[in-house]
Amino acid sequence: MDRVVVEQRSIDVVPEGERHGTALSQFTLWFGANMQVTAVVDGALAVVFGADALWAIVGLLLGNVLGGIVMALHSVQGPRLGLPQMISSRAQFGVYGAVVPLVLVVVMYLGFAATGTVLAGQAVNKVLQVDTAAIGIIIFGALTAIVATLGYRWIHRLGRIATLFGILGFTYLGIRLLTTEDVGALFGAKPFDWVTFLLAISLGAGWQLTFGPYVADYSRYLPRDTPERTTFLATFAGSVIGSQWSMTLGALVAASGAGFLSNQVGYLGSLAGPSGIAVLIYLVIVVGKLAVNCLNAYGGSMTLLTTVSAFTRAAKIGPVARSAYTIVFLAVSVLIAIFASANFLDNFKNFVLVLLMVFTPWSAINLTDYYLISRERVDIPALYDPLARYGAWNVPALTSYFAGIVLQIPFLAQKLYTGPITDALGGADISWLVGLFVTAAIYYPWARRTANPPAQMVYPS
């Protein structure tokens, strides 16, 4: 297995004989993927839109913890099933019905890949000392294509490198911030405000929840007997600590008001000090963004393959096809990055909150079914056959999913639309809470009457 350079598996089950690694790999993957500039921007948004730095950090932490719990519960499914995350959604939505959230997941991956590539491209340009934005974007896209095409093992190796780079780079930036700014004066500069505090929670929770549709893609090679608690804690700790570290830095640099809003990557370089060290910080930014962008590209190709295989009934797709889908996905994301780099900060805030509305109902249904209805028992061969146990379309899941989306609308706080209940709350966005708990409340009693889980796990022969 070690001699195989390009990953051979895609949407098929990983056999027990090919399982490898420990839960520590989940920590380094998710820690490294979150020690990156987009998470810094996400943390800055809480301050940009009105929160005091202290309460922004507290709100972001609360959101990261709450969203991280949901995200890590998805990760636990990987070793048990040996499947990419969205294939398992067929157990709830049906083989064809799962295509509905799958299409939206592809849009999410494209959005994150494109917005992240904008910032990573800026860092590449700083290293190369060129001014044409497209150059850095294209180079970064090519680097992503190489690692994502090689697959699972190489993505985890990159995660370990990103963890080391992130710790060194972000520790240095934190020290520089403490020595160049009166950080203490940034706390308490504004009074506590519930609206902006809830926004900070939503930004943290949304960041974590949007990992849900692909987190099991990167735990599915772990041995089947890996303790669930170990997988959960490793994933949770890596993702929450890494993201909170980055977001805290973002909240502080935004509160300092020293040019971060207009030039996020350039500001971090200037914060680093001498030009030689600034180049190293730009490399840290590139490595961190590369780690998470490979997740987006790899997960995006898996999602596209899952969508297509629903109609072809294929249970296995080779590495050539996976590589082709990955390259096409990245080509589209690079084009989006080139033509959508203006007004990045404002667009990203709205993008994250919109994704919350779409993916919290999916998480609610997936987790409710897996842990409370099916009780971790899945008929894996039936996931590939619309005439088998899970059918083509699952009406309870699809109805609950759309109901969960619609019921969030009155609670939205978006640039183009603010719901009436949000107005009554003074602008606080709590739609993600509605999406999680109301969707679960609708789906659970309905699924209890209609679901047909197997008596025990059914693996391919």
Distance between CA atoms of 248 and 120, rounded to whole angstroms?
20
Identify the residue with better confidence: 308 or 172. Answer: 172
- pLDDT for residue 341: 56
Of 53-57, 310-314, 383-387, the least confident:
310-314
Lookup result for tokens 């790999």: 25
Asked whether the predicted pLDDT for residue 58 surpasses 90, the reply is yes
Asked whether the predicted pLDDT for residue 124 surpasses 90, the reply is yes
Contact present, 35 and 245 (Cβ < 8 Å): yes
User: Which CATH homologous superfamily contains domain 16-450?
Assistant: Hydantoin permease (1.10.4160.10)
Span 409-457, pLDDT tens digits: 888 776 667 778 877 777 777 888 899 999 999 999 999 999 989 999 9
Identify the residue with better confidence: 191 or 246. Answer: 246
Give the pLDDT band of residue 280 (cuts 50, 70, 90). Answer: very high
- pLDDT for residue 1: 41
Asked whether the predicted pLDDT for residue 300 surpasses 70, the reply is yes
Domain spans of the chain, in order of start: 16-450
- pLDDT for residue 8: 85
Span 337-357, pLDDT tens digits: 887 656 665 566 566 557 778
Identify the residue with better confidence: 43 or 411. Answer: 43
Of 215-219, 311-315, 330-334, the least confident:
311-315
